[in-house]
Amino acid sequence: MLSLPNVTLDPFTPVEAVSTLQAQLAYNEADSISASAARTVKLAVCVDLDGTLISEDVTICALKIFVRHNPLNVFKVAWWFLHGRAYLKRELAVRIDLDVANLSYNKKLIDFLMKKKQNGYRLFLATACDRLYAEKIADFIQIFNGVFASDGQINLRAEAKANALVTMFGEGNFAYAGNSMDDVHVWSKSAECILVNPTKSVLKAMRNRKYLLF
């Protein structure tokens, strides 16, 4: 735990009564503590799901199962889509129970994340899939401290995801792992960029940024 400066300034003491040396010491120690705190606080590591943590797209998986059950369900899908992507994802999530154990997880990335977790980093799943699926996957993997996901009203992708992470952690205070052009919006606000199976267009868009490649 960081200790407070040794100099205590009584808020009711006139400024003139505080010696220049004492005041300077207070400022110097406070600056030292701020710098030390900045060095010891670890970035939050936020991880995309579809195409990053897993190779599949969860919404597409649910959609295929739903239509396979009854081809006429395609008309329901079209109606839900008119209400927005987030609405569509929620309607699928409440109807299709995906077996998350059978998804194709990126073992190399998970090993990397587990080491981060052991070293004191906080991990967050940040996905545009519906929260019902995201939380189920997070419960299965057991490494995440929290989940950011679509909620039936907000489709958490691209700028919406970037804004959510900035609101929670602050711009430049998180690392982000993703794979698509949508993720470029998030990387623009992150301190560290982790690219997972990126396309050529993503690599081109990120050519002026340093990144870790998986």
pLDDT in tens, 105-136: 999 999 999 999 999 999 999 999 999 999 99
Q: What is the pLDDT of residue 42?
A: 87
Q: Which long-range contacts (CB under 8 A, 24 or more apart) does 74-81 make?
A: none
What single-letter amino acid sits at 173?
Answer: N
Helix or strand holding residue 212 (H, E)? strand 212-213
Distance, in Å, from the CA atom of 212 to the CA atom of 193, rounded to the nearest integer, reads 6
- Residue 14, CB half-sphere, CA atoms under 13 Å: how many? 2
Distance, in Å, from the CA atom of 127 to the CA atom of 112, rounded to the nearest integer, reads 19
Strand partners, 195: 178, 213
Distance, in Å, from the CA atom of 94 to the CA atom of 117, rounded to the nearest integer, reads 31
Backbone phi, then psi, for 189, in 5-degree steps?
Answer: -105, -5
- Rounded mean pLDDT of the chain? 86
**How confident is the model over 70-75, as a mean pLDDT?**
98
Given this structure, which CATH class describes domain 42-56+105-213? Answer: alpha beta
End-to-end alpha-carbon separation of the chain, Å? 35
pLDDT in tens, 4-49: 332 333 333 333 333 332 333 333 333 333 333 444 578 999 999 9
- Residue 194, CB half-sphere, CA atoms under 13 Å: how many? 19
Give the 3-state secondary structure of residue 1.
Answer: coil
pLDDT in tens, 162-180: 999 999 999 999 999 999 9
Strand segments (E) across 14-163: 44-47, 123-130, 146-150
Annotated domain spans of the chain: 7-40, 42-56+105-213, 59-93
Distance, in Å, from the CA atom of 155 to the CA atom of 48, rounded to the nearest integer, reads 14
Q: 158, 148, 167: which is closest to 205 by C-alpha?
A: 158
Give the 3-state secondary structure of residue 71.
Answer: coil
